[in-house]
Amino acid sequence: MRIDWIAKLQHLLQTMAFCLAVATIQYAFLPERPYAPPVAYSLAIGIITWAIIDLGRDLFPSARETGWPAGATGLLLVVGGIVAGYLLGNALADMACRSFGWYANAAPVNRDNELRNSILITALAGIAGTYYFYSRGKSAYLERKMTEARQHASEARLKLLETQLEPHMLFNTLANLRALIGADPQQAQVMLDHMVAYLRATLSASRATSHSLQAEFARLRDYLELMAIRMGPRLAYTLELPPELAAQPVPTLLLQPLVENSIKHGLEPQMQGGSITVSARREGEWLTLQVIDTGAGFNGALPTDSGFGLAQVRERLAAAYGPRATIEFIACDAGGSRATMRFPLQT
């Protein structure tokens, strides 16, 4: 565990300033008595309490994240610190005042009154000080968490963009387009339209969180059309979307990574290519989406290689539907793979 000693020193100085302030207020109430004893008592109690609570809290494993031990442990530490600070600090300050003669010729005091006052002051000051440090620590912790979350989100967005705009895909597509411009300008225009739609969807997918199943299938068609021009007869595809499901909302480009996996790991390594079927089905109150291919199937490399795509789909499903969404991925030895996801229909 790393302890930030500069922050600790700051805490100590703040505590000492607070103690002096408390002593000054005490002195202001009873100016006829000497100034030294309240200062000594206040500092001794304050510093010991600070040492126990501020240094002690780092010894608890649960304090690693937030800076404070979780639950009752934290409360116990504070109470223990204040009580121990009171007892030890009193003894220490009493000793110091006696040996240096700071009590001087102060008038004798009512011991019951004195005891009640000092306990009250210690408790109030201890709670106020602890609360101050606790809330500062908490807001720093929350700020840190928020920065982390923001970073995580933008990293995920960047990663999604990076996979969608994979340079091999991009430059091969452009090379095909260049070839078509000379050979078949009309077909080139069709290809360019698909490419524009694909790029637009990819770039806006990071902004909108959901769209209709119809839009999802249209984007898949753009992508598959591009790939069909590139792969020629090696790619055949079918999209099956019943009209009554067309308006169902789904997270944007949810199916895209699965279709890409099918092409990259299923069809592309296979000389004869194959076919991809994407379908949507209603099963009672559930929506089932399926991506099936007749590609190379399981080749050992799949779990790590396509890991990102699958993990990303799983994460997005969980974020949108919680534990009610399921996804199942099966790759066969004999060839072919099937990804099936199910989540509640929205009515």
Partner 1 sequence: MSPLPVPTALIAEDEPLLAQALQAELARAWPELKLLATVGDGASAVAQALALKPDVLFFDIRMPALSGLEAAAELADDWPQGTPFPALVFVTAYDQYAVQAFETQAVDYVLKPVQAARLQKTVAKLQQALANRALGAMNLEANLENTLDQLRKLLGASQPAPSAVAPLKVIQVSVGASIRMVPLDEVLYFEAADKYVRVLTAGHEYLIRTPLKELLPRLDAQSFWQIHRGTVVRASAIDSVTRDEAGKLSLSVRGRADKLAVSRLYAHLFRAM
Report, in Å, the least distance between residue 182 CB and partner 1.
7
Identify which range of 11-19, 114-122, 263-271, 279-287 contacts partner 1 by CB under 8 A: 263-271
C-alpha 23 chain-centroid distance:
45
Q: Distance (Å, rounded) from C-alpha 296 to C-alpha 266?
A: 5
Asked if 99 interacts with partner 1 (CB under 8 A), we say: no
Residue 32 DSSP label: T
Q: 36 or 226: whose CB is closer to partner 1?
A: 226
Q: 216 or 260: whose CB is closer to partner 1?
A: 260
Identify which range of 47-55, 118-126, 230-238, 246-254 contacts partner 1 by CB under 8 A: 230-238
C-alpha 265 chain-centroid distance:
31
Identify which range of 37-45, 49-57, 94-102, 178-186 contacts partner 1 by CB under 8 A: 178-186
Q: 125 or 263: whose CB is closer to partner 1?
A: 263
Dig out the tokens for 30 from the structure.
């009873």
Q: Distance (Å, rounded) from C-alpha 299 to C-alpha 335?
A: 9
Q: 137 or 335: whose CB is closer to partner 1?
A: 335
Site string for partner 1, 325-344 (x = CB under 8 A): --------x-----------
Asked if 270 interacts with partner 1 (CB under 8 A), we say: yes
Q: 33 or 230: whose CB is closer to partner 1?
A: 230
Q: 117 or 270: whose CB is closer to partner 1?
A: 270
Asked if 185 interacts with partner 1 (CB under 8 A), we say: no
Contact 86, 45 (CB under 8 A): yes
Q: Among 98, 150, 157, 178, which residue sits at the site for partner 1 (rule: CB under 8 A)? A: 178
Q: Among 71, 167, 243, 284, which residue sits at the site for partner 1 (rule: CB under 8 A)? A: 167
- In sequence order, the 6+-apart residues with CB closer than 8 A to the CB of 211 are 249, 250, 252
C-alpha 273 chain-centroid distance:
40
Q: Distance (Å, rounded) from C-alpha 56 to C-alpha 54?
A: 6
DSSP code string of 130-163: HHHHHHHHHHHHHHHHHHHHHHHHHHHHHHHHHH
Dig out the tokens for 95 from the structure.
């000793």
240 has which bridge partners?
A: 279
Q: How far is CA 107 from CA 30, 32, 34, 42, 104, in A?
A: 11, 9, 10, 20, 9
Q: Among 33, 234, 314, 338, which residue sits at the site for partner 1 (rule: CB under 8 A)? A: 234
Q: Among 146, 175, 318, 319, which residue sits at the site for partner 1 (rule: CB under 8 A)? A: 175
Identify which range of 11-19, 51-59, 175-183, 254-262 contacts partner 1 by CB under 8 A: 175-183
Q: 25 or 170: whose CB is closer to partner 1?
A: 170
Q: Among 3, 72, 271, 284, which residue sits at the site for partner 1 (rule: CB under 8 A)? A: 271
| 162 C-beta neighbours (distance < 10 Å), count | 11
Contact 12, 50 (CB under 8 A): yes
C-alpha 161 chain-centroid distance:
20
Site string for partner 1, 274-313 (x = CB under 8 A): ------------------------xxxx--x---------
Asked if 71 interacts with partner 1 (CB under 8 A), we say: no
Dig out the tokens for 295 from the structure.
């590609």
Asked if 221 interacts with partner 1 (CB under 8 A), we say: no
Contacting residues toward partner 1, per CB under 8 A: 167-168, 170-172, 174-180, 182-183, 229-232, 234, 268-271, 298-301, 304, 333
